[in-house]
């Protein structure tokens, strides 16, 4: 009887990355549980390391700051956003690319199960209740703005005195910042979370329409 074919071997580099990602996720989820229970400000990195059964240095190897334990997915979001803008088709504005990118996002907001809604509520309360987290969030969004402005300036061949790429980037990320605030307020009020994804989509589409009149033409790829 013929033996079934063996599954393809996973390269060692791939195994290492998989293990690192599992460790990163385990530490972050452990931290989130502690933050949700006791508040961000009341949990130390040493306590997170002990609960996750790793060394404190391991936590900092994966998360340079305590705040990064909450915002660890934001780096990937920035990379994906810039890739969506960079790869947009000719004739497509950055607004169109940004809108399509956001509408394609799933995450907790795109899930309808009770666990996702509970996590969304925990995270909203955690960030709202922590000045350090709110400050870090604004730093991250400012970083998004700078990265997008540099990309738009490069595409347009803009010189250092041309502020239009920065105006465009601030408008786009400002829209994102506003949607985050809208979502968080709705979550904190506990109002009809099942309708929230549709409401966020409607707000996004309305805001894109407001901006598209002037900004769309400038950022449309030739």
pLDDT (mean) for 128-133: 92
Q: What is the structure's pLDDT at 192?
A: 66
pLDDT (mean) for 53-75: 93
pLDDT (mean) for 75-91: 90
pLDDT tens figures, 168-197: 999 999 999 999 999 899 888 876 677 888
Q: What is the structure's pLDDT at 222?
A: 60
* Percentage of the chain lying above the pLDDT 90 cut: 54
Q: What is the structure's pLDDT at 91?
A: 87
| 8-state DSSP, 65 | S
Residue 105 tokens, joined: 């996002």
Instruction: Let me know: does 184 contact 128? Beta carbons within 8 Å.
Output: yes
Does 52 score more than 70 pLDDT? yes
CATH architecture under which domain 12-65 falls: Orthogonal Bundle (1.10)
Cα–Cα distance, 68 to 61 (Å, whole number) = 11
pLDDT (mean) for 121-140: 92
Cα–Cα distance, 8 to 53 (Å, whole number) = 32
CATH architecture under which domain 74-219 falls: Orthogonal Bundle (1.10)
Instruction: Let me know: does 222 contact 88? Beta carbons within 8 Å.
Output: no
* Distance, CA of 76 to chain centre: 7
Q: CA distances (Å), 202 to each of 47, 120, 124, 186, in order?
A: 42, 20, 21, 14
| CA angle (193 as vertex; 189, 196 as ends), nearest 5 | 105
pLDDT band at residue 60 using 50, 70 and 90 as cut-offs: very high
Number of Cβ atoms within 10 Å of the Cβ of 207: 19
pLDDT tens figures, 11-40: 666 888 899 999 999 999 999 999 989 999
Q: What is the structure's pLDDT at 111?
A: 67
Average pLDDT of the residues of the chain = 86
- Domain extent listing, the chain: 12-65, 74-219
Question: What is the model's pTM?
Answer: 0.81
């Amino acid at each position: 009887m013929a033996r079934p074919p063996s599954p393809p071997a996973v390269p060692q580099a791939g195994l290492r990355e998989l293990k690192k990602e599992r460790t990163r996720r385990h530490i972050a989820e452990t931290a989130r549980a502690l933050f949700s229970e006791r508040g961000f400000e009341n949990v130390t990195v040493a306590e997170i390391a002990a609960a996750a059964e790793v060394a404190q240095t391991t936590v900092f190897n994966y998360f340079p700051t305590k705040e990064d334990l909450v915002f660890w997915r934001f780096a990937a979001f920035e990379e994906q956003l810039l890739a969506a803008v960079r790869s947009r088709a000719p004739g497509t504005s950055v607004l169109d690319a940004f809108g399509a990118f956001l509408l394609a996002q799933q995450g907790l907001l795109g899930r309808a199960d009770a666990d996702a809604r509970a996590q969304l509520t925990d995270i909203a309360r955690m960030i709202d209740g922590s000045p350090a987290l709110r400050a870090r969030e604004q730093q991250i969004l400012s970083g998004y703005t700078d990265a997008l402005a540099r990309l738009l300036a490069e595409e347009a061949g803009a010189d250092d005195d041309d502020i239009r790429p920065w105006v465009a980037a601030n408008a786009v990320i400002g829209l994102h910042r506003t949607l985050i605030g809208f979502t968080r307020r709705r979550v904190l009020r506990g109002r009809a979370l099942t309708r929230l994804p549709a409401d966020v989509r409607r707000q996004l589409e309305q805001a894109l329409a407001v901006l598209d009149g002037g900004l769309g033409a400038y950022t449309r790829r030739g």
